[in-house]
Structure 1
């Protein structure tokens, strides 16, 4: 029986580390990353309809005003074309995440659209096929479809799900300046880095010690384009309870892994007081198996 309405979450994606290990002949960069998702994000609601439409709500809806097309509509058309059915659905995107922020917002929205419409249209599509469709939409869409902690390599298509990851408190901060991912990769210079060794996930202390020895290879390029990232780092690293501060993806969103939920909440309140124009969220990493 076909559902009348389906809602799918599109959580923020965090790169706990991000190594750029090479570049393919087609221009795509090769990556090695530990990806986790936060318990905050966008939301897609799909309802039965006679044609395809999209409305956008939420605090960042205005950033998408005037777009004739976006990843949500492209995902809907791609899935319908693959299933050889009309792309008929009324879609609502609740846009809670900043745009061009390095936390996978557009990719997560596309992945949530594919999941929601597969259920709305009662499609029995194999996971491998759904992942392949996601990759057509963007290199980050497959990991957002997986929606669980994983080791990511290749251009984003090689994923190893992780059975455990501590649900650490995390503070997300965006200085309010959009940053293009292609621009950051274009600005990156220097040699390519090495992949990380095997991940220690058994306990939070070991994971944190390991993460401190890793890096985000896009940090310098992002800082050159958006110097405000340096101010974000300074504020995060000065917060009581900050265990690790790092750029996520291509930025400009930064995250801080925090000692406990109280320090995350108090840190968020402090930052919103001194920097009211910043987007700040205290949340947690989503554990495996959700």
Structure 2
């Protein structure tokens, strides 16, 4: 057994997020385009007696270290599946904001599955286990860009495309995913938000054409009006980033992170600088996508 296994796992941005009606199982039917970006959490699995998790980095104090943490549940699920004791010390170093719409928890779960499988020298269908843990976990294993259907766990990879340049404007507050979906249902009942967005055909064509301006024009998210309704201050951030030169913008997932697509690395640096000077976000993170999925680094 190795002394420890280190895995790096990317955050995601939803380039499009179409939310259908609530299903009988309580989830909403989704059609989304996931896009991994080079903002990563690091998960280290080391031999131990018993199961424990420690967290450092962005938002560490806001996260539980018991079964309330999805990384703990991921280790338990894998151990139960392969018939071993969940003896592991999990150390998570976070760069992905908590409750930011960037799937940081899902990234940690995916990293834990891969790190523990390598540490324990076991084989399992990690994608199936990931889907059992949460809607975004399977994509964190795959990375790149992919269309997600069902509740997001059924993935169809998008052919490789050139690097996209992003600024992620994070917030000093979070938005609960469950609260966002509940608010969407409520607003739809009174027709206070637009009808669901259509299929992602135009976005996929823009990606295939390697045209960031065309991609920017078709970024969309059914939860974006909800994020603006729950936290109206996000509208200022969104508008400032576009005014600063971004070719497109979208609230990622349930928010509150605003993702700004830029035509070049220099443009991204400029947009980030404007957002910072205007105090429009907590952090303006310059990054790129599509990043690889979860990967063992040593």
Q: In 2 relative to 1, CA 77–170 (structure 1 residues): closer, same or farther, beyond 3 Å?
A: same
TM-score by length of 2: 0.89
1:48 aligns to 2:53 (yes or no): no
Q: In 2 relative to 1, CA 169–225 (structure 1 residues): closer, same or farther, beyond 3 Å?
A: same
Distance of 1:25 and 1:68 partners within structure 2: 26
Superposed counterparts of 1:166-177, under 5 Å:
166-177=162-173
Comparing 247-256 and 135-144, the one that deviates more: 135-144
Q: In 2 relative to 1, CA 211–158 (structure 1 residues): closer, same or farther, beyond 3 Å?
A: farther
Residue matched to 2:86:
87
Does the 8 A contact of 2:169 with 2:283 survive in 1? yes
State the shift of 1:75 in Å.
0.5
Residue matched to 1:155:
151
CA offsets, 1:110-137, max 9 Å, x none? 0111011111111122xxx322211221
Q: In 2 relative to 1, CA 142–8 (structure 1 residues): closer, same or farther, beyond 3 Å?
A: same
Residue matched to 1:119:
118
1:244 aligns to 2:244 (yes or no): no
Kindly tell me the number of residue pairs found equivalent between the two proteins: 284
Distance of 2:144 and 2:199 partners within structure 1: 21
Distance of 1:68 and 1:280 partners within structure 2: 32
Does the 8 A contact of 1:149 with 1:288 survive in 2? no
1:57 aligns to 2:60 (yes or no): no
Residue matched to 1:180:
176
Distance of 1:202 and 1:97 partners within structure 2: 28
User: Secondary structure of 2:267's match?
Assistant: helix
State the shift of 1:50 in Å.
2.1
Residue matched to 1:220:
225
User: Secondary structure of 2:100's match?
Assistant: coil
Unaligned runs of 5+ in 2: 189-194
Does the 8 A contact of 2:117 with 2:123 survive in 1? yes
1:144 aligns to 2:143 (yes or no): no
1:235 aligns to 2:234 (yes or no): no
State the shift of 1:271 in Å.
2.0
CA offsets, 1:18-44, max 9 Å, x none? 111333122211111111111112110
State the shift of 1:67 in Å.
5.8
TM-score by length of 1: 0.91
Residue matched to 2:286:
282
Equivalent of residue 263 in structure 1, options 258, 261, 267:
267
Distance of 1:157 and 1:33 partners within structure 2: 10
Residue matched to 1:70:
69
User: Secondary structure of 2:220's match?
Assistant: coil
1:19 aligns to 2:23 (yes or no): no
